[in-house]
Chain A
């Protein structure tokens, strides 16, 4: 039909007065209908009336239009795509599905993540119609991408293949497995994944591949690629890592030094240990103090500051990092931190606790503590972490401030304490925090401690946090706000009730009440989200 309708349109374009409709060859069915209409019109018109070519054109065009619409036929079937594989998980109940819709419309990514991870855990799949919005979120919020990919299941991965932006955001949705991307090609994340895969299978091959192509790597990608060697690290990697200590980029040098430090038996480790042993020694002989003699203690010799070898081993020189701090403290901290923990045990004591409890001469205690703490975090050493957390440096001033030291200010302890807590198994971590709060012995603000505890908090932590909140003169100061903010996201569901009661004890309209009530509401909402997915 289209062809002949275009012919009609061509006549209309030029004008029926100029171009004759009768010149067109109409399809038989249309020609017959047009003839009928013409006869009908002629019978109604006055005899001798001149037929209007414009009217004829409009009549035929009307017939052709309706004929074209009514006569429409299907095109041949298009090839069907491979359908999505079945998803054995049960569908989300209506309330949970509606909740997901709300969360997708909101801005709280943590709550959305809670829905997604709970659903994945319980074997619940999101409603299909929500998948496009979930995939859009995976594109916009990369941090949620893996949770979204898991919750969306096979249908989500199938759908993501229809759009490049979705496919790129969904791990495992792209047609080819990571192995399909050669190390030479692909985007930086793809190449990183490729190298990690190779390293897991054949550590030597991965290192050789990396070393062979090193000169061609984009400088900005080098540190990331080098970090892949952490998996399956061995002395065979040492020569390459030593060469990287002379790289032009500082992030490459730092990564190489970090890997060499954690590599048992590395030359860098030995150099660091020697340096540290020169700086810290024990007075009073090994083993228990002699009866009647002076108690054993640690004596510090501040390392010199102008040492090419130290710089190459990535000990930051004070002039660069802390212009206003005393050079001695800074160098000591970094020398101690860079040393493997085996430098100290059994050299200074029989176990970490014995070392940490030794008296330190001249007020260097906090510096040593911080250095050991950094080493313990790096080596994920639970016994050291326990020992150090059991004997935090005297907090002197307010928690969170640098510990008082005669040797100049130290950096904030918060990050270090968090890292030490991170070394502990979760239950020990909770017990340690709970004990610290109960004893009022807080080396850093409570919120910073609590941040190391993933939710939902165990009972002992819940109890001390609620108690801490209850004892405070106000909740709308920075510490109170920070703790409430964490509590809202990590308290277990049943804690909503006592938190609500706590809020109600504050005067109406007070900021403290408002903050606590909002936190209680969020705890309730989190609980509801989880319950709806039962």
Chain B
């Protein structure tokens, strides 16, 4: 992941080849950046036109249209160098056939893509802004690790809380959740591998890292990478308290205001009780309850860990509710 094609990093603000002082290279890089930006914006305009056509003619029947219309559009988005948009478009076909209530779910996705296509020209006009960084991230423009490392270091004792591997198209994505002991901030370190290849295992859950983290640019910091490491000690400290459900939802609202496309926001909830009742899995505290989503087999472990008592829960806030990652019984040494 350290080396990237030069074209991938030129849209990152300030740094990059130009900073290294070769005027000819810098000029070439700037031209390539302009070309790519034009290609992206043209592609997004095409996408927006397609979205308009869909809702103008009516989306009835999309559930029977199959994958082909989406695959064709996704291929256009790949050409336009907006790979994350292409991935999202490919997932639309599955949403269209997701059964009862699909029109509302599909319209949500169309609307968010429309929002992205509308925001991109505005955001990219000020390339150094956090807004631009956020939009670029959702378009799928890679930021080189080198450029991330130039952001200010966030040194703390980072507790490695948990990890999860998700298969995303052809890649396996590993998310490792860290929590700063001093700041209480959560950060997610992501790594990717082609299916079957080993993933980065340098961050071991249950250890605490005295290290410098660098946050990816964007309106809301959540993704980070580890820079200089100073020490690793076994054990993690997990706070017994933490925001309850209502407070976490407020935080989620503030995050969405700055990044409406974000689909998961990490939180360390305190004093919540996982409950399984006739209506399914829930998370309950004094302020109310939220459905647990994508629980799967892990729900039983969650239930076992809590035993009906309040726990600290590392989780992701997602549009449908709370997706659990790992529960902690009070304080883990």
Contacts and interface: CB of A to CB of B under 8 A. Distances in A.
B246 interface: yes
Contact of A77 (B253, B257, B286): B286
B47 to A, nearest CB: 11
B20 interface: no
Chain B interface mostly:
helix
Contacts of B288: 73-77
**Residue of A9, A53, A62, A131 with most partner-chain B CB within 10 A:** A62
A156 B107 CA distance: 45
Contacts of A15: 55-60
B137 interface: no
Interface string B230-270: 00000000000000011001001100110010000000000
A16 B54 CA distance: 9
B329 A128 contact: yes
B285 A77 contact: yes
A58 B110 contact: yes
Given A17-B57, A128-B305, A62 B112 contact: yes
B192 to A, nearest CB: 27
Contact of B307 (A12, A72, A83): A83
Given A71-B253, A78-B275, A80-B284, A64 B111 contact: yes
Contacts of B53: 54
A281 interface: no
Contacts of B57: 15, 17
A74 B246 contact: yes
Chain A's interface size range is: 35 or more
Contacts, number: 160
A65 B256 CA distance: 11
Interface string B125-150: 00000000000000000000000000
Interface string A70-114: 111111111111111000000000000000000000000000000
Contacts of A81: 275, 277, 308
A13 B115 contact: no
Nearest to A17: B56
Contacts of A129: 301, 304-305
B308 A158 contact: yes
Nearest to A158: B307
A78 B277 contact: yes
A45 interface: no
Contacts of A73: 246, 249, 288
Contacts of B246: 73-74
A159 B56 contact: no
Interface string B270-296: 000101110100101111111100000
B111 A132 contact: no
A523 interface: no
User: How would you classify the secondary structure of chain A's contact residues: helix, strand, loop or mixed?
Assistant: helix
Interface in A276-315: none
B52 interface: yes
B31 interface: no
B114 interface: yes
Interface in A29-60: 52-55, 57-59
A74 B114 contact: no
Interface in A1-38: 2, 5-6, 8-18
A89 to B, nearest CB: 14
Contacts of B54: 12
A486 interface: no
B108 interface: yes
A58 B249 contact: no
A162 interface: yes
Nearest to B104: A9
Contact of A70 (B245, B256, B297): B256
A58 B52 contact: yes
Contacts of A130: 304
A78 B309 contact: no
Given A129-B301, A155-B307, A13 B103 contact: yes
B102 to A, nearest CB: 9
Nearest to A135: B300
B107 A9 contact: yes
A70 B301 contact: no
A12 B305 contact: no
B123 interface: no
A370 B71 CA distance: 81
B23 interface: no
B300 A159 contact: yes
Interface residues of B, number: 53
A225 B193 CA distance: 61
Contact of A62 (B56, B114, B245, B273): B114
Contact of B59 (A2, A13, A53): A13
Given A54-B56, A129-B301, A9 B103 contact: yes
A66 interface: yes
Contact of A80 (B52, B273, B291, B303): B273
B304 A159 contact: yes
A61 interface: yes
A76 B256 CA distance: 23
B297 A132 contact: yes
Contact of A59 (B103, B114, B256, B285): B114
B55 to A, nearest CB: 5
A77 B55 contact: no
Contacts of A82: 308
A58 B114 contact: yes
Interface string A330-360: 0000000000000000000000000000000
Contacts of A66: 112, 115, 256, 260
A340 B35 CA distance: 103
B319 interface: yes
B58 A84 contact: no
A65 B111 contact: yes
A243 interface: no
Nearest to B308: A83
A14 B260 contact: no
Contacts of B284: 77-78, 80
B248 to A, nearest CB: 10
A69 interface: yes
Interface string A149-186: 00000010011001100000000000000000000000
A78 B307 contact: no
A72 B252 contact: yes
Nearest to B275: A78
B275 A54 contact: no
Nearest to B114: A58
A72 B317 CA distance: 11
Contacts of A158: 307-308
B64 to A, nearest CB: 13
B51 interface: yes
Contact of A74 (B107, B273, B289, B304): B289
Given A9-B103, A61-B114, A129-B304, 8 more contacts: A12-B55, A13-B58, A15-B60, A66-B260, A74-B289, A75-B288, A83-B309, A132-B301
Of all A-B residue pairs in the complex, the 5 with the closest CB atoms, nearest first, are A74-B288, A15-B58, A83-B308, A84-B307, A61-B111
21 contacts: A8-B104, A9-B106, A12-B103, A14-B58, A15-B56, A16-B55, A58-B52, A61-B114, A65-B260, A69-B256, A70-B256, A72-B253, A74-B245, A75-B290, A76-B289, A78-B277, A79-B277, A83-B307, A128-B304, A129-B305, A159-B303
Interface of B: 51-60, 103-104, 106-108, 110-112, 114-115, 245-246, 249, 252-253, 256-257, 260, 273, 275-277, 279, 282, 284-291, 297, 300-301, 303-305, 307-309, 319, 329
